[in-house]
Amino acid sequence: MTEAGCAAWDAVAALAREPGASDIRRLLDADPSRARRFGFRAAGLLLDLSRTSLTDPVLAALLALGQARGVARFRDAMAAGRPVNGTEGRAALHMALRAPAGGFQVGDENASATVHGTLDAMAGFVRGVHGGQILGAGGDRFTDVVNIGIGGSDLGPAMVTRALWRPGMPMRAHYLANVDAHAWEALRPRLDPRRTLVLVASKTFTTQETMTNAQLVRDWLARALGHSAVPGHLAALSTNLKGTAAFGIAPDRVFGFRDWVGGRFSLWSAVGLSIALACGLDAFAGLLAGAREMDDHFLAAPPEANLPMLLAATEVWHVNFCGYGARAVLPYDERLSRFAAHLQQLEMESLGKRVTNAGLPVRHATGPVVFGEPGTNAQHSFLQLIHQGTTPVPVDFVLVARPDHGHPASHRILLANALAQAEALARGRTEAEARAEMARAGLPAAEIDRLAPHRTFPGNRPSTSILLPALTPATLGALVALYEHKVACLGAYWDINPFDQWGVELGKQLAGGILPALEGGATAPDAATAAMIGEIRRLQEG
């Protein structure tokens, strides 16, 4: 698909049509300074775009396209607290969540003051729990925190806690998301109700999965400790104060945020309380500070040095001009094992849109499929398709220079694998190289002929690499903020609203209609559903 009538778009398209436009191997060989020239730094992170087919003219044209599409204007409107989420009439001010007091305004509201009021309340609560002033109903110290939430009320904090938690940190954190009660049954035996603090995390406080799980866990507390003990073990993270009160959560145990914080951008808000409880207040503050550093960079740096804008420009190149419909995220760090899961929501819920802000069908592709696993595990899973499948899939590698463990040899192997994958994707292996290698190994000529096509790698498969000096709260905060801002830039490039998610509503509504049919009290809405319900009921009854 193209964008008819946009000269800046046509200029990029013309460059994409030039012969050899995607020859990454040639670009790498032709310019030994390419890694330096396509390496960009901010907030302690290095973004390496050298293993893409970007050239100086292509990058300049993509940034000019960004200017024509209003990327910087959109960023500034977002920072000014304007209602950039047009379908819901809301601002998107997650940057205020990590800003110093006094920085951001939404209409008449001093957003930063609101944020700092909540941060202070969270800090007081965390200190009370850690210091033993806030205890379980029986006088026991809390050792475990269970965060009940789903989507943005789960993925961000779960990912961060997995990344930052180390033995000896103040509390253990557990995340209960799926309404499948197997999740609760798997968690329950690991918890002592006397020492368990439960956070119900839901922006709306109406999400079916979260409310169902919250009731299960509340009943468990009541059975174990008695009804009167339950409120002492509960807190809520929500914008819906009526809902939290109706659920029996005391007002001083509710940590709020505003509707200008989107779920998938909310880990910096009260939704991050489990991070502060598990990893400590300093870790949470460091996370916010790192994100803030990336915010400052995003707000001030010119496009040609602006990491989120450069990452967005790269994505536009791949999606719209190279025709790649997916992207893999491979953090070579086990602690980032939920990072891809977080980005899946952040990017696909934001950018999976088919109409423009004005409600017209888009005339170009929008958000790609995002998926990933940590390396090296991914190498033994889906990397085969990325090397030799029929559709190139750009990869984001995330590397960490200094590990937190004392096994340098393991870490060298890990990094060597990441670098080797990036090199193999970019350079591939020509048929001549494959043949020469087999000849060196002494294979007979007929065998070389037979295997050569299978052992040839096309190469020219793009990847970007992000290098962190170490995985700290600050570098993680900067990394996540980098992707958040990339998403906002892409919203502007594609003229779509990255802050709503109407697409998930239909399934929710239909589930509401199907539930009575499963309970036997209503007819299913269509024949296929009715047939499956019949089978399920037959198996349940038999």
Residue 461 binds ligand F6P (CB under 6 A): no
Q: φ, ψ for residue 457 (rounded to 5)? A: -110, 125
Complex with ligand F6P: residue 118 or 210, whichever CB lies closer? 210
Number of residues that bind ligand F6P (CB under 6 A): 14
Relative to beta strand 109-110, strand 144-148 is unpaired
The piece of 167-175, 200-208, 288-296, 413-421 that touches ligand F6P (CB under 6 A) is 200-208
CB 142 within 8 A of CB 135: yes
Residues 398, 394: Cα–Cα separation, whole Å: 13
How far from chain centre, in Å, is Cα 202?
18
Helices 7-16 & 56-68, crossing angle to 10 degrees?
160
Least Å distance, CB 204 to ligand F6P, is: 3
**Nearest distance in Å: CB 338, ligand F6P:** 15
Among 136, 152, 462, 477, binds ligand F6P (CB under 6 A): 152
Told to check if 344 binds ligand F6P by CB under 6 A, we report: no
What is the full DSSP assignment across 252-263?
GGEEE--TTS-G
Instruction: Give the residue, chosen from 93, 150, 176, 200, that forms a contact with ligand F6P under the rule CB under 6 A.
Output: 150
- The arrangement of strands across the sheet holding 144-148 comes to 172-176, 144-148, 196-201, 234-238, 254-256
Pairing assessment for the beta strands 463-470 and 45-48 based on DSSP bridges:
antiparallel
Q: Does 151 help bind ligand F6P (rule: CB under 6 A)? A: yes
Cβ–Cβ < 8 Å for 57, 12: no
501: contact with ligand F6P by CB under 6 A: yes
Distance of CA 232 to the CA centre of its chain: 33
Give the span between the Cα atoms of 149 and 201, in whole angstroms: 5
Instruction: Supply 46's token pair.
Output: 């290095």
Least distance to ligand F6P, CB of residue 503, Å: 9
Annotated catalytic residue, options 227, 380, 437, 505: 380
In angstroms, what is the minimal distance from the CB of 345 to ligand F6P? 7
Closest contact distance (angstroms) between CB of 28 and ligand F6P is 40
CB of 155 to ligand F6P, least distance (A): 8
Least CB distance from residue 516 to ligand F6P, whole Å?
22
Q: Rule CB under 6 A: say whether 153 interacts with ligand F6P.
A: yes
504 belongs to the binding site for ligand F6P (CB under 6 A):
yes
Active site residue 380: yes
Which positions ≥6 away from 258 have C-beta within 8 Å?
Answer: 106, 109, 111, 114, 239
CB nearer to ligand F6P: pick between 345 and 465: 345
Which window, 188-196, 203-211, 417-425, 467-475, contacts ligand F6P (CB under 6 A)? 203-211
List 203, 338, 411, 427, residue binding ligand F6P (CB under 6 A) = 203
Q: Which is nearer to ligand F6P, 152 or 459 (CB)?
A: 152
Task: Please state, in angstroms and rounded to a whole number, the distance separating the CA atoms of residues 384 and 485.
Answer: 31
Handedness of CA 101, 103, 106, 109 (dihedral sign): positive
CB-facing half-sphere around the CA of 178: CA atoms within 13 A: 8
Question: Which one of 349, 353, 373, 484 is the catalytic residue?
Answer: 349
User: Candidates 98-106, 146-154, 406-414, 465-473 — which segment interacts with ligand F6P by CB under 6 A?
Assistant: 146-154
Among 55, 110, 204, 357, binds ligand F6P (CB under 6 A): 204
Rounded Cα distance between 199 and 196, Å, is: 10
Nearest partner of 70 among 297, 312, 260, judged by Cα: 312
Position of minimal CB gap to ligand F6P:
263
Catalytic annotation on 508?
A: yes
Please say which residue, 465 or 497, places its beta carbon nearer to ligand F6P.
497
User: Helix count (H) and strand count (E) of the chain?
Assistant: 22, 13
- Quick one: which H or E segment has residue 146? strand 144-148
Binding flag, residue 338, ligand F6P (CB under 6 A)? no
Q: Among residues 254 and 400, whose Cβ is nearest to ligand F6P?
A: 254
Adjacent-strand bridge partners of 402: 470
Which residue's entry shows tokens 């959560």? 249
The region of 145-153, 253-261, 363-371, 436-444 touching ligand F6P under the rule CB under 6 A is 145-153
Minimal distance, residue 136 CB to ligand F6P, in Å: 26
Strand runs labelled E in 249-394: 254-256, 326-331, 369-372
18 in active site? no
Distance CA 82, CA 102 (A): 17
Tell me whether residue 63 or residue 200 sits nearer to ligand F6P (CB atom). 200
Which is the catalytic residue, given 407, 437, 508, 519? 508
210 near ligand F6P, rule: CB under 6 A:
yes
* Burial environment of residue 120 by CB neighbours within 10 A (0 to 12, 13 to 18, 19 or more): exposed
Structure-block tokens of residue 387: 């090397």
Contact status: 207 vs ligand F6P (CB under 6 A): yes
Q: In the complex, what is the shortest distance from the CB of residue 107 to ligand F6P, in angstroms, rounded to a whole number? A: 22
Q: Closest separation between CB of residue 287 and ligand F6P, Å?
A: 19
Does 264 engage in binding with ligand F6P (CB under 6 A)?
yes
User: How do beta strands 109-110 and 172-176 pair?
Assistant: unpaired
Q: Is 67 in the site for ligand F6P (CB under 6 A)?
A: no
Rounded CA separation 536/542 (Å): 10
Binding of residue 274 to ligand F6P (CB under 6 A):
no
For residue 263, state whether it binds ligand F6P (rule: CB under 6 A).
yes
Catalytically active residues are 349, 380, 508
Binding site for ligand F6P (CB under 6 A): 150-153, 202-204, 207, 210, 263-264, 349, 501, 504
